Amino acid sequence: MKFSIQEHFAKRHHFDLRLEMDGVAKSWAIPKNFPEKGDKRLAIQVEDHSLDYMEFEGIIEEGYGKGVVKLWDKGEYELLKRSEREIKFKLNGEKLKGTFVLLKFEKLGKDAWLLMKLS
C-alpha cells in the first residue's frame, strides 16, 4: 500500500501523513516534524482524502488549508496492526524508513493520536 507525507505551509506549518486504507487516504496532521526513535508527536486525524490527493503539490488558494503543499516523502508501507485504537506500520519511503505506531489519545480530543517511531 502507498503512503505520502506532504509538508503544508498553511497558517500553521505542519506535515500531513496519508496512508492508503479502505480505498481512501486516511490522514493525520502532524504539527511538528516526524518523531525520531523514542519521541512522541501529536497527530490529529483529519478527513479522509482521495487517493489522487496523496501526490498533490501546489497552492490551495482559499478556505481550510490555504497555503503551499509540497510532497515531502512517499513510498510503500506495510500494515502491521490495525485496531480502533492502534495503527502500527512500517514505512519504506524515500526519506523515512522504519516502524511507526499511531495510538488513539482521547484525553486530547476524539481525533487526537500519538505518533511514535519504534525502530
Q: Indicate the average pLDDT of the chain.
A: 95
Residue 65, pLDDT score: 80
CA–CA separation, 87 and 50 (whole Å): 20
pTM score of the predicted model: 0.94
Cβ neighbors of 11 (< 8 A, separation 6 or more) are 66, 67
What pLDDT, in 10s, does the model give residues 2-33?
Answer: 999 999 999 899 999 999 999 999 999 999 88
Mean pLDDT over residues 49-61, rounded?
95
